[in-house]
């Protein structure tokens, strides 16, 4: 009996040591993961790093990693330009499914308000949202009136203090819907566009050329097509002018293949920092007059008008149950102004930008 007990104790000790070693390994792995999170992202991904690793070959996981990385890349580039300010990092959950990470910098030296949001939401599409999609030509076959969906994206609006530094917006997103028969419809959308208060041709050329290079890696037809789409989309009908000097914009893109569209979206996301940060560096210390600041405030008013009246993303967010209103309306500036019947003098720098907003230009040829 003693021998049997001795062997039993020996086995138990070996198992215990192995379990402790495994537990230490788990702890080490967890610490490594947390360190990786700190270095790569602004906050842990909505789906969790382990889950994303487990499903790393799936496009949904790769897209979530891309939007988290893009958020961190942009936030760090902006924070380096405005060292006295810091991003407030706010993680949130949606009770219907999913959540997000909002990073917002307010009242810095350089940026009045800069927000970079990630959201990963899933659940059942609301009837209003489905109606909006059907109006764009989507044939969505619901099962018992229900449409399971998954939507994820990174979205950012940057409003600088100096009127000589333009406002910039970008958004890249992926959408998936499961129809009644189990088939999945998927598509990508997004774009990057610039809204200057005053026109600087050199900056406009740099911005458009950088985006064109990102598009040209994939297909030479993409930049002209998506540049025109951008000019047409960011159009304030009731004013007869564009929101800014454009960039690229696309939606409902589901060909040639999921992988090819993903790689294109990745190139566009990687172009955000190089197309914008050099312009901020160049002008953030320019001197400006109270009149120039007033014109910036009036242009900001136009920005608000477009976002609340026409922007599809804002409308979709407001129609999605459980969506986070603070994150959706993050795109609005901290300050703006609406003056009755304001008209700039002819041949002024203010009139110059209005001319371009009414008649878009080709910046790269």
CA 211 to chain CA centroid, Å, is 16
How far is it, in rounded angstroms, from Cα 92 to Cα 90?
A: 7
- pLDDT, residue 183, reads 81
Question: Would you kindly state where each structural domain of the chain is located, as residue ranges?
Answer: 39-358
Q: What is the DSSP string of 297-361?
A: HHHHHHHHHHHHHT-HHHHHHHHSTT--HHHHGGGS-S-----TT--PPTTSHHHHHHHHHHS--
- Residue 10: pLDDT band by 50, 70, 90 thresholds? low
Task: Please report the sign of the dihedral spanned by the C-alpha atoms of residue 247, residue 253, residue 257, residue 261.
Answer: positive
> Annotated active-site positions, please?
169
- Residue found by looking up tokens 């690229």 in the block: 248
pLDDT in tens, 161-178: 999 999 999 999 999 888
Q: Which residues contact 45 (CB under 8 A, 6 or more apart)?
A: 52, 64, 65, 68, 120
pLDDT in tens, 98-130: 999 999 999 999 999 999 999 999 988 776 676
Q: Which pLDDT band holds residue 40 (cuts at 50, 70, 90)?
A: confident
Cα distances (angstroms) measured from residue 362 to each of 78, 171, 277: 28, 22, 22
pLDDT at 7: 57
CATH topology classification for 39-358:
oxygen-dependent coproporphyrinogen oxidase (3.40.1500)
Residues 337-365 have pLDDT tens digits of 999 999 999 999 999 999 999 999 999 98
**Predicted pLDDT at 293:** 97
- DSSP bridge partners of 151: 121, 175
């Amino acid at each position: 009996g003693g021998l049997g007990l001795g062997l039993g104790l020996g086995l138990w000790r070996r198992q215990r040591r192995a379990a402790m070693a495994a537990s230490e390994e788990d702890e080490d792995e967890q610490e490594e993961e947390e360190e990786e999170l700190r270095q790569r992202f602004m906050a842990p991904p909505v789906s969790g790093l382990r889950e994303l690793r487990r499903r790393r070959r799936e496009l949904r996981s790769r897209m979530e990693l891309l939007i988290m990385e893009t958020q961190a890349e942009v936030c760090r580039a902006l924070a380096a330009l405005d060292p006295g300010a810091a991003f407030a990092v706010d993680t949130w959950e949606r009770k219907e499914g999913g959540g997000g990470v909002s990073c917002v910098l307010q009242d810095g030296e350089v940026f009045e308000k800069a927000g970079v949001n990630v959201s990963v939401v899933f659940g059942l599409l609301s009837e209003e949202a489905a109606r909006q999609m059907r109006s764009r030509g989507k044939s969505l076959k619901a099962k018992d009136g229900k449409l399971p969906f998954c939507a994820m994206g990174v979205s950012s609006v940057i409003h600088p203090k100096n009127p000589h530094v333009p406002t910039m917006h970008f958004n890249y997103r992926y959408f998936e819907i499961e129809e009644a028969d189990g088939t999945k419809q998927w598509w990508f959308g997004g774009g990057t566009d610039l809204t200057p208060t005053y026109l600087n041709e050199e900056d406009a050329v740099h911005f458009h050329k950088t985006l064109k290079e990102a598009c040209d890696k994939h297909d030479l037809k993409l930049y002209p097509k998506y540049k025109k789409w951008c000019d047409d989309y960011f159009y304030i009908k009731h004013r007869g002018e564009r929101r800014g000097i454009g960039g690229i914009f696309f939606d409902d893109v589901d060909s040639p293949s999921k992988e090819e569209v993903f790689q294109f979206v990745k190139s566009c996301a990687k172009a955000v920092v190089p197309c914008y940060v050099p312009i901020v560096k160049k002008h953030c210390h320019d001197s400006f007059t109270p009149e120039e600041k007033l014109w910036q405030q009036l242009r900001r008013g136009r920005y608000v008008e477009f976002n609340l009246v026409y922007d599809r993303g804002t409308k979709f967010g407001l129609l999605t149950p459980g969506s986070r209103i603070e994150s959706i309306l993050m795109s609005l500036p901290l300050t703006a102004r609406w003056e009755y019947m304001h008209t700039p003098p002819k041949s002024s720098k203010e009139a110059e930008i209005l001319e371009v907003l009414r008649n878009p230009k080709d910046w790269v040829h």
